[in-house]
């Protein structure tokens, strides 16, 4: 069992790494098409995970659980990235981030129905506060929140991520967070492999900043981020861990300010404060 302080550190590490992915994805998209970018990113992450598996030689899952991990990878990595990248071709990033942040609510409902996790009223209240905070941040972004084809693709991506979190949780208890994360990333790279040749062709013409962005996305938000997220799930459970994802938009805003000098508005700061407050409420004796 992951220690509480270690689990909190793992969750917050995931938030920072996944938040940092947004500007790097934009950099990568200058030289790569959306799906080949995902294929190359997870190919890099898979090399790291395969190296770790070969070094540690952990107990590998049974055939039945291996199929379940493959399903996690197909839904939570391959299909998620294909749907999200395709949706963002017509949906602004701010609106897409708001739609994606329905993941904690969907995950909590699935975890309650399938895993027996139960939120008290206090936890649902904290979730609602965080959701309002993220919606406030999204309201300051350009674009209309209308559910056309692009928005539906992004919503489908959110459902995929919630299903992945729920499916993976029992396997983490059986095999450990690091093993599950490593196998899921490798299987995800295999699912995206049909687009890898295109990615390699595009890489020949890519500039150095785009190639560095892909390397960063694979090593940190990819390999390390998925490992720390699995560790957070092992301790907090799927529903409660998913609430930490409400911290991604305000963290991304803070990183944008630190790295590019983009100054957040007062409304954005208030929205971020709501998102953080909701996560604190959920994680102060809110889950039984």
pLDDT tens profile 137-191: 655 555 544 445 677 887 788 889 989 998 998 899 899 999 999 999 999 999 9
Q: Other CB atoms closer than 10 Å to residue 65's CB: what's the count?
A: 16
Taken in order 114, 116, 117, 119, is the CA torsion positive or negative? positive
Contact partners, residue 66, CB within 8 Å, separation at least 6: 60, 183
Please, which residues bridge with residue 119 across strands?
287
| Ordered per-residue pLDDT tens for the chain, 288 residues | 457 788 989 999 998 998 888 778 878 888 999 899 999 999 999 999 999 999 999 988 999 999 999 999 999 999 998 888 787 777 665 566 667 777 777 777 777 777 666 666 666 676 677 677 666 665 555 554 444 567 788 778 888 998 999 899 889 989 999 999 999 999 999 999 999 999 999 999 999 999 999 999 999 999 999 999 999 998 888 777 877 887 877 777 777 677 666 666 676 667 666 766 766 676 565 444
DSSP state of 262: P
Residue 280 near residue 247, CB atoms below 8 Å: no
């Amino acid at each position: 069992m992951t220690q509480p302080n270690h689990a909190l550190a793992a969750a917050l590490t995931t938030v920072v790494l996944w938040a940092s992915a947004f500007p790097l994805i934009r950099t990568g998209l200058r030289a790569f098409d959306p799906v080949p970018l995902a294929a190359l990113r997870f190919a890099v992450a898979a090399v790291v995970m395969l190296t770790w598996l070969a070094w540690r030689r952990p107990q590998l899952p049974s055939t039945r659980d291996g199929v379940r991990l493959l399903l996690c990878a197909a839904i939570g990595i391959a299909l998620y990235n294909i749907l999200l990248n395709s949706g963002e071709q017509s949906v602004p990033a701010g609106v897409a981030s708001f739609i994606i942040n329905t993941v904690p609510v969907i995950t909590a409902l699935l975890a309650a129905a399938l895993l027996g996790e139960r939120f008290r009223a206090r936890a649902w209240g904290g979730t609602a506060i965080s959701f309002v905070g993220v919606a406030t941040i999204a309201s300051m972004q350009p674009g209309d929140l209308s559910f056309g084809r692009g928005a539906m693709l992004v919503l489908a991506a959110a459902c995929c991520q919630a299903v992945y979190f729920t499916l993976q949780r029992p396997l983490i208890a059986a095999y450990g967070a690091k093993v599950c994360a490593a196998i899921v990333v490798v299987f995800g790279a295999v699912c995206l492999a049909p687009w890898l040749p295109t990615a390699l062709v595009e890489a020949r013409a890519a500039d150095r900043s785009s190639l560095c962005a892909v390397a960063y996305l694979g090593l940190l938000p990819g390999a390390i981020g998925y490992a720390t997220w699995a560790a957070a799930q092992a301790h907090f459970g799927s529903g409660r861990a998913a609430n930490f994802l409400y911290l991604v938009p305000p963290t991304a805003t803070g990183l944008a300010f630190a790295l590019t000098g983009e100054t957040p508005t007062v409304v954005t700061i208030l929205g971020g404060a709501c998102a953080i407050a909701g996560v604190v409420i959920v994680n102060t004796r809110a889950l039984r």
